[in-house]
């Protein structure tokens, strides 16, 4: 505060100017009142009653226009409700009052250093002003579009929300109006305009309810008029058709009837169709199966016929086989020991393992050479003999060394095939009679085949030929036991 006469600084404790003596009481009281309004404004601002705060702060700066704190706070309140232009004006003036004004510097810097935010404020204000022009020209829809854009740039723009609510109320869209007002009250909780519109919507909705006022028996229209004019204390008995919502049985009934109708539709319309489709399907499948079955039956007939012809062939072959068997029987019955039979058996066994090896052919040769001329005369022996020679033309020239025979025999001996091993040891003995081990194993295989006589013969020969041999003790032991 400064003295209006001399310009000296005044404090709130003074009543007169100390420099010129001017009675400064009025100025000081004005300043005190300004402080009071500033405090009130601050209180309101703290509880987000921005419009209330603005009202008090405006009065504070009216009383003391150089009240820096009030101007700074007023600028903040303007910014809070989206009035950025007014906010900047307050801070700029506040700065002009006092160079040392850190708060004003900070608030102005806040906007200058954030150009994006500043642009949003600018655009929002521009859209709002454009909407105001359009609404005055009757273009409510365009104005609504502009206002929506304004609040998208600055969601705290209270006036834009209020104008949107006004347009919605005018168009009868009370729900949207209420939402817009709710949003504006979020920023400025006690804004008088917003609250007034909210009450208006509530009143409109209440009046839209149907109200019947019934007059009790005995009351006339004049009585009603008197009551309404307050000439009598008698009361009208209003009967409200609007009442608290109770359970709505109609919904339940319509639900149940809907379900029943649905069931009936399904039963009478859908099920027969499905059944018909299933029947048709079944008939088709029966026809298909019938065709398949007849096909199978004809296949069976042809297979049976084929079976019959095959059976007759089998019978014929069986007869031929029987013929051969008879001949074979004849051979065995004659008890030739079956040299032919033995050779033929060995021949088939050779061929069962593939083509006979050199050693096997050598063995076959021995078996063939064992067949006598008399044996060849019997039955199919000659044919079988010719068959073997035809299969192995060089069989009678087959050769094998004593060692080869011995090794093959030993292999069979180790597999406990005593009979075949014995044959090979015998053939090997004929080729190499001085093979000690061969002579011993020949006797051993006879022993294992329970041919004691041959075993003794070859064991004795072993003892004679090899008195210091490897198997002397074993052979001697057997010889002693055999005696």
Report the C-alpha dihedral over residues 107, 113, 117, 121, rounded to 10 degrees. 50
Indicate the residue among 82 and 443 with the shorter CB distance to other proteins.
82
Q: From residue 151 to residue 180, what is the string marking binding to other proteins with x (rule CB under 8 A)?
A: --------x--xx--x--xx----------
Does 272 bind other proteins (CB under 8 A)? Our answer is no
Indicate the residue among 15 and 321 with the shorter CB distance to other proteins.
15
Does 93 bind other proteins (CB under 8 A)? Our answer is yes
- Taking the C-alpha atoms of residue 425 and residue 38, their distance in angstroms, rounded to an integer, is 137
Does 475 bind other proteins (CB under 8 A)? Our answer is no
Q: Where are the alpha helices (DSSP H) in 353-380?
A: 358-369, 373-377
Which listed residue (5, 182, 239, 287) binds other proteins by CB under 8 A?
5
Does 85 bind other proteins (CB under 8 A)? Our answer is yes
Report the C-alpha dihedral over residues 112, 114, 119, 120, rounded to 10 degrees. -130
Q: How far is CA 251 from CA 202, 258, 264, in A?
A: 28, 10, 20
Indicate the residue among 62 and 474 with the shorter CB distance to other proteins.
62
User: Shortest distance, CB of residue 149 to other proteins, whole angstroms?
Assistant: 14
Does 193 bind other proteins (CB under 8 A)? Our answer is yes
Does 295 bind other proteins (CB under 8 A)? Our answer is no
Question: From the CB of residue 56, how many other CB atoms can be counted at a distance below 10 Å?
Answer: 23
Which listed residue (38, 56, 107, 121) binds other proteins by CB under 8 A?
121
Which listed residue (88, 104, 380, 381) binds other proteins by CB under 8 A?
88
274 sits in which H/E element? helix 271-333
292: tokens are 């398949």
Question: From the CB of residue 51, how many other CB atoms can be counted at a distance below 10 Å?
Answer: 18
- Taking the C-alpha atoms of residue 287 and residue 466, their distance in angstroms, rounded to an integer, is 92
Query: What is the CA 455 to chain-centroid distance, rounded?
Result: 83
Binders of other proteins among residues 204 to 233 (CB under 8 A) are 204
Q: Where are the alpha helices (DSSP H) in 334-357?
A: 339-352
Does 26 bind other proteins (CB under 8 A)? Our answer is yes
User: Shortest distance, CB of residue 34 to other proteins, whole angstroms?
Assistant: 8
Q: Under a CB-based contact definition with an 8 Å cutoff, are residues 408 and 432 in contact? A: no
Does 188 bind other proteins (CB under 8 A)? Our answer is no
Does 126 bind other proteins (CB under 8 A)? Our answer is yes
Does 135 bind other proteins (CB under 8 A)? Our answer is yes
Does 366 bind other proteins (CB under 8 A)? Our answer is no
3-state secondary structure of 178: helix
Does 80 bind other proteins (CB under 8 A)? Our answer is no
Listed residue (191, 209, 144) closest to 170, CA to CA = 144
Q: Under a CB-based contact definition with an 8 Å cutoff, are residues 170 and 33 in contact? A: no
Indicate the residue among 108 and 421 with the shorter CB distance to other proteins.
108
Q: Which stretch binds other proteins (CB under 8 A): 79-87, 233-241, 280-288, 361-369?
A: 79-87
Q: How far is CA 286 from CA 46, 148, 274, 299, in A?
A: 89, 72, 18, 20
Q: Which stretch binds other proteins (CB under 8 A): 1-9, 302-310, 354-362, 466-474?
A: 1-9
Contacting positions for other proteins (CB under 8 A): 1-2, 4-5, 7, 26-27, 30, 61-66, 82-86, 88-89, 92-93, 118, 121-122, 125-126, 128-129, 132, 135-136, 159, 162-163, 166, 169-170, 193, 200, 204
């Amino acid at each position: 505060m400064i003295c209006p006469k001399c310009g000296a600084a005044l404090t709130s404790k003074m009543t007169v100017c100390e420099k010129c003596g001017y009675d400064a009481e009025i100025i000081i009281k004005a300043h005190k009142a300004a402080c009071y309004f500033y405090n009130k404004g601050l209180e309101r601002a703290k509880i987000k009653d921005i419009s209330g705060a603005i009202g008090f702060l405006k009065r504070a700066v009216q009383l003391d226009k150089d009240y820096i704190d009030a101007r700074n706070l007023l600028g903040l309140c303007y910014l809070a409700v989206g009035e950025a232009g007014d906010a900047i004006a307050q801070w700029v003036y506040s700065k002009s009052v006092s160079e040392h004004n850190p708060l004003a510097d900070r608030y102005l810097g806040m906007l200058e250093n954030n150009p994006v935010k500043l642009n949003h404020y600018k655009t929002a204000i521009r859209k709002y002003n454009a909407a105001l022009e359009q609404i005055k020209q009757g273009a409510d829809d365009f104005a609504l579009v502009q206002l929506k854009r304004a609040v998208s740039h600055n969601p705290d723009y209270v006036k834009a929300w209020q104008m949107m609510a006004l347009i919605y109320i005018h168009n009868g869209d009370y729900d949207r109006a209420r939402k817009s007002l709710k949003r504006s009250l979020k920023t400025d909780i006690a804004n008088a305009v917003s609250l007034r519109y909210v009450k208006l919507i509530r009143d409109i909705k209440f009046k839209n309810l149907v109200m019947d006022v019934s007059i009790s028996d005995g009351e006339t229209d004049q009585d009603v008029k008197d009551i309404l004019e307050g000439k009598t204390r008698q009361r009208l008995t209003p009967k409200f058709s609007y009442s608290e919502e109770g359970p709505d049985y109609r919904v339940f009934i319509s639900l149940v009837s809907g379900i029943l109708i649905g069931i009936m539709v399904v039963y009478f319309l859908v099920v027969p169709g499905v059944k018909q489709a299933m029947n048709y399907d079944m008939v088709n499948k029966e026809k298909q199966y019938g065709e398949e079955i007849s096909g199978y039956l004809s296949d069976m007939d042809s297979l049976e016929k084929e079976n019959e012809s095959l059976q007759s062939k089998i019978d014929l072959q069986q007869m031929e086989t029987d013929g051969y068997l008879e001949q074979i029987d004849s051979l065995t019955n004659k008890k030739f020991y079956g040299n032919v039979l033995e050779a033929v058996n060995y021949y088939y066994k050779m061929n069962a393992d593939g083509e006979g090896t050199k050693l096997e052919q050598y063995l076959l040769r021995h078996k063939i050479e064992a067949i006598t001329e008399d044996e060849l005369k019997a039955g199919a022996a000659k044919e079988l003999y010719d068959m073997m020679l035809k299969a192995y033309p060089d069989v009678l020239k087959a050769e094998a060394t004593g060692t080869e025979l011995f090794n093959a025999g030993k292999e069979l001996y180790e597999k406990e095939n005593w009979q075949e091993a014995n044959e090979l040891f015998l053939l090997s003995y004929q080729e190499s009679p001085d093979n000690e081990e061969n002579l011993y194993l020949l006797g051993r295989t006879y022993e294992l085949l329970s041919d004691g006589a041959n075993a003794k013969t070859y064991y004795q020969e072993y003892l004679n030929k090899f008195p210091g041999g490897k198997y002397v003790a074993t052979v001697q032991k057997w010889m002693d036991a055999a005696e």
